C-alpha cells in the first residue's frame, strides 16, 4: 500500500488507518492482536488509538485499548518500528470523572501527564502523532449543531495547550501533533500561534466524515487545504449504518443486530449515530449502492477514497473478516456519475449525523 504525506510533519501514512476503539470492549486481546497482525500484513502502517478507549467509555476499560496495543508491541519485537502510532489526550472530562481524576481544567500539565501515561501503556518511547481528542473551549461537537456563546466558560488558552504539545515534541516523546473534533477557527488558531511563536505545527485533524456527515465540507476543508493540514476521516461507515446491517431490523428492538454497536449500547443510540434521520438517510445510500451493483460498504469507503479532502480513512473493525472486507471495499473506484448522484442525494438529505 502506498503512503501519503501527513501535513508538513515529515510522516508518511497509508490511506487506510486502523482504528482501535473496539479493542478491550467488543474485541478481546487475542482477536485484537490477530486484527493488528493482519492489518500489518495488508500493508497498513498507521494505527490510531486514544487514552479514553475502549468505547463506549467507562472506568473499567479506560486505557484498555492502549494496553492491548502495548502488549502487541512487546510480543512482536521490531513491529513498533514498522508502524506509525497515533493516540489522543482526552479533553476536559465529558461525563468521565475517571480521566485525570475528573480535573476539568485541561492545563498544560494535564496534557503532559496524559502523554506520559499513554507512553507507559503503549510500551513505547515515542508517539508518532499525538492529538487532542476534543477542544477545551465551548463549541458544537459530538452531535451539537449550533455554537452558543452563552455556554462559554473559562478554558485554557490554545497557546498554553500548544506549548505543552511543543514541549513533548522537543523532549522527543512525540514526533508530530494533531487535533480532533475541531473547527476551522480552532485549526487556524493552532497554526497561527505555532507560526508566530516557533512552536510545533499541527499536522492533522481527525473529524467524522462519511456520507451521512459531510460537515468537513462546511469550510473546514478549505482551512485544511490552505494551511496544509491533513484530514483523518473517522466513522467512514457511520458507526455501521452505512454497511446495511441496520437496514432491515433498525437500531433497536428484537430485530436489530444485537452485537452491533448502535443496537448494543444505549449511549450510542442516544447520540448522533442513533438518530432516526441518520438511519433513514443511510438506508437511501445503501439502496443506491445496491442499485449500482455495489455493497453499501464499498460505496461508503470508496466515497472517502475519492475525496481530495481525506489524507487517511480510519477503519474500525471487530474481526479479521471485517478488516479484509473493508480493505477490499476501499479499492473500489467511483465514476463521476456516481459521485454526482451522491452529491444530489446529499443535497436532499443533508448531514443527519452531524
CB 223, CB 248: distance < 8 Å: no
Buried b (16+ CB within 10 A) or exposed e, 36-61: bebbbebebbbbbbbbbbbbbbeeeb
Which residues lie across from 178 on neighbouring strands? 131, 204
Kindly tell me the burial class for residue 336, based on how many C-beta atoms sit within 10 Å of its own C-beta (0-12, 13-18, 19 or more): exposed
Query: What is the secondary structure of 163-207 as a DSSP string?
Result: HHHHHHHHTTSEEEEEEES--HHHHHHHHHHHHHHT-PPEEEEEE
Catalytic residue among 53, 62, 130, 234: 53
Helices 296-306 and 276-291 pack at an angle, to 10 degrees, of 90
Q: What is the CA radius of gyration of the chain?
A: 19
Q: CA 37 to CA 173: how far, in whole Å? A: 25
Q: What is the DSSP letter of 117?
A: H
The three cell numbers of residue 94 are 465529558
CB 202, CB 224: distance < 8 Å: no
The candidate with the shortest Cα–Cα distance to 12, out of 173, 204, 221, 222, is: 204
Catalytic: 246?
A: no
Which residues, 6 or more positions from 262, have their beta carbon under 8 angstroms from its beta carbon? 239, 240, 241, 246, 251, 256, 268, 269, 273, 274
Q: What is the DSSP letter of 88?
A: E
The candidate with the shortest Cα–Cα distance to 71, out of 44, 42, 36, is: 36
Phi, psi of 257 (to 5 degrees): -70, 105
Positions marked catalytic: 53
Amino acid at each position: 500500500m502506498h503512503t501519503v504525506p501527513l501535513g508538513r510533519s515529515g510522516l508518511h501514512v497509508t490511506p487506510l488507518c486502523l482504528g482501535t476503539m473496539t479493542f478491550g470492549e467488543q474485541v478481546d486481546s487475542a482477536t485484537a492482536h490477530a486484527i493488528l497482525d493482519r492489518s500489518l500484513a495488508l500493508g497498513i502502517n498507521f494505527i490510531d488509538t486514544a487514552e479514553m478507549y475502549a468505547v463506549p467509555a467507562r472506568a473499567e476499560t479506560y486505557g484498555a485499548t492502549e494496553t492491548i496495543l502495548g502488549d502487541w508491541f512487546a510480543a512482536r519485537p521490531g513491529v513498533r518500528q514498522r508502524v506509525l502510532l497515533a493516540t489522543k489526550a482526552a479533553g476536559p472530562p465529558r461525563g468521565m470523572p475517571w480521566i485525570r481524576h475528573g480535573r476539568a481544567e485541561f492545563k498544560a500539565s494535564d496534557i503532559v501527564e496524559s502523554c506520559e501515561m499513554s507512553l507507559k501503556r503503549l510500551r513505547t518511547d515515542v508517539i508518532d502523532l499525538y492529538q487532542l481528542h476534543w477542544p477545551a473551549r465551548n463549541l458544537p461537537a459530538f452531535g451539537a449543531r449550533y455554537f452558543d456563546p452563552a455556554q462559554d466558560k473559562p478554558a485554557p488558552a490554545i497557546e498554553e495547550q500548544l506549548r505543552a504539545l511543543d514541549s513533548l515534541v522537543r523532549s522527543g516523546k512525540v514526533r508530530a501533533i494533531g487535533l480532533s473534533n475541531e473547527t476551522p477557527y480552532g485549526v487556524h488558531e493552532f497554526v497561527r500561534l505555532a507560526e508566530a511563536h516557533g512552536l510545533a505545527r499541527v499536522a492533522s485533524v481527525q473529524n467524522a466524515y462519511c456520507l451521512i456527515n459531510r460537515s468537513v465540507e462546511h469550510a473546514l476543508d478549505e482551512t485544511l487545504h490552505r494551511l496544509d493540514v491533513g484530514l483523518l476521516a473517522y466513522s467512514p461507515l457511520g458507526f455501521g449504518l452505512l454497511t446495511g446491517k441496520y437496514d432491515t431490523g433498525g437500531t433497536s428492538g428484537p430485530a436489530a443486530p444485537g452485537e452491533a454497536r448502535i443496537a448494543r449500547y444505549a449511549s450510542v443510540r442516544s447520540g448522533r449515530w442513533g438518530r432516526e434521520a441518520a438511519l433513514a438517510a443511510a438506508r437511501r445510500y445503501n439502496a443506491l449502492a445496491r442499485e449500482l451493483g455495489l455493497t453499501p460498504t464499498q460505496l461508503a469507503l470508496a466515497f472517502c477514497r475519492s475525496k481530495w479532502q481525506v489524507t487517511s480513512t480510519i477503519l474500525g473493525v471487530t474481526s479479521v473478516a471485517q478488516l479484509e472486507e473493508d480493505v477490499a471495499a476501499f479499492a473500489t473506484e467511483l465514476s463521476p456519475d456516481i459521485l454526482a448522484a451522491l452529491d444530489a442525494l446529499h443535497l436532499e438529505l443533508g448531514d443527519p449525523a452531524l
